[in-house]
């Protein structure tokens, strides 16, 4: 079992049922300004079902999961334009979470907006992913995030536990570069695409971030039930390790994405903390992400 026995205390089932890795909810929303035809509405409905089936019924790893161990995640497609029939563009919001040990609390592990969503889909089309070839852009995007979500989740339970799945995601990036689709290359405008997301994850300079992911969740979130003060202190220590990343890669995609995914959680977590502890974590967050200092200041209110 991949969750090191930690998740066993959360299981409520009295019998064993083998399941796939993801419990993925899918929604497709069209921009209100779009004049969506009845045909396109039907395509969206079928697409939602097809994406759901691919994410939830394909086995992405060789590990065995119980139903209650599946990784909770959400994909929300925002369709902003339909350049031509069966061609769609917009953005994709991807989020995943995992439970804290011995509690009903769920912590966000990954939350990312992919602004390079562009794909072709027609009624009746199947989404068949192959590990060693690029078939279509939509399937590759979905497989990329399936592996990335799994990688982030595994990293939160064991140090560098997700390496294999980040490598799988990187292989998808490499194969997708044979297409003209956006989001797969290093030289595209900005560094907020799939290429950089997984390249950073595997780069040695971001090793402290992966260590933070592990320590934040295993020594912090998973400790809160038994000892909230110790859990908070471990969370601070984990975040403090990110100073190393800031010194070499300030304002990097992965670092900012991790911190900003935790902002609301930290605000709630420190609500009843001593002023000195609040001040300490706020100063650290401002150092890690100076552009959003005003958000972190709210922790002190």
Cα separation, 288 vs 265, in Å, equals 16
Domain boundaries, the chain: 9-202, 205-301
How far is residue 193 CA from its own chain's centroid?
A: 13
- What is the reported pLDDT for 301? 87
Using a 10 angstrom Cβ sphere, with 0-12 exposed, 13-18 middle and 19 or more buried, the burial of residue 3 is buried
- What is the reported pLDDT for 16? 39
- List of residues 6+ apart from 147 with CB closer than 8 A: 60, 165, 166, 168, 169, 172
Using a 10 angstrom Cβ sphere, with 0-12 exposed, 13-18 middle and 19 or more buried, the burial of residue 131 is exposed
- What is the reported pLDDT for 44? 97
Beta bridge partners of 75: 26, 94
Nearest to 260 by CA among 117, 127, 108: 108
Instruction: List the pLDDT tens digit at each of the 301 positions of the chain.
Output: 445 444 443 333 333 345 799 999 999 999 999 999 999 999 999 999 999 999 999 999 999 999 999 999 999 999 999 999 999 999 999 999 999 999 899 999 999 999 999 999 999 999 999 999 999 999 999 999 999 999 999 999 999 999 999 999 999 999 999 999 999 999 998 889 999 999 999 999 999 999 999 999 999 999 999 999 999 999 999 999 999 999 999 999 999 999 999 999 999 999 999 999 999 999 999 999 999 999 999 999 8
- What is the reported pLDDT for 190? 84
Q: Dihedral sign, CA of 289, 160, 19, 169?
A: positive
- What is the reported pLDDT for 14? 33
- What is the reported pLDDT for 7? 45
- What is the reported pLDDT for 19? 74
Question: Which tokens sit at 31?
Answer: 């921009």
- What is the reported pLDDT for 6? 44
- What is the reported pLDDT for 300? 94
- What is the reported pLDDT for 18? 55
Instruction: Assess contact for 262 and 108: CB atoms under 8 A.
Output: yes
- What is the reported pLDDT for 227? 97
């Amino acid at each position: 079992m991949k969750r090191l026995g930690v998740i066993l205390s959360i299981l409520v089932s009295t019998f064993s049922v083998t399941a796939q890795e993801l419990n993925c909810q899918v929604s497709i929303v069209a921009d209100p300004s779009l004049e969506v035809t009845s045909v396109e509405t039907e395509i969206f409905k079928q697409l939602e079902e097809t994406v759901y089936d691919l994410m939830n019924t394909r086995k992405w790893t060789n590990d065995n999961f119980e139903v209650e161990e599946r990784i909770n995640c959400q994909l929300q497609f925002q369709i902003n334009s339909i350049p031509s029939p069966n061609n769609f563009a917009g953005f994709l919001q991807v989020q995943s979470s995992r439970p804290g040990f011995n509690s009903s609390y769920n912590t966000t592990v990954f939350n990312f907006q992919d602004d390079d969503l562009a794909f072709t889909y027609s009624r009746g089309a199947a989404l068949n992913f192959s590990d060693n070839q690029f078939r279509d852009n939509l399937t590759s995007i979905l497989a990329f995030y399936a592996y990335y979500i799994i990688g982030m989740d595994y990293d939160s339970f064991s140090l560098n536990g997700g390496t294999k799945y980040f490598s799988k995601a990187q292989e998808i990036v490499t194969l997708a570069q044979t297409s003209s689709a956006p989001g797969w290359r290093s030289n595209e405008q900005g560094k907020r695409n799939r290429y950089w997301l997984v390249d950073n994850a595997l780069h040695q300079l971001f090793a402290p971030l992966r260590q933070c992911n592990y320590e934040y969740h295993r020594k912090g979130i998973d400790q809160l039930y038994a000892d909230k003060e110790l859990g908070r202190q471990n969370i601070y220590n984990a975040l403090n390790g990110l100073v190393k990343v800031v010194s070499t890669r300030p304002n990097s995609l992965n670092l900012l994405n991790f911190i900003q995914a935790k902002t609301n959680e930290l605000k709630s977590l420190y609500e009843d903390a001593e002023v000195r502890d609040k001040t300490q974590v706020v100063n650290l967050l401002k150092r890690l992400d100076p552009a959003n200092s005003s958000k972190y200041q709210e922790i002190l209110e």
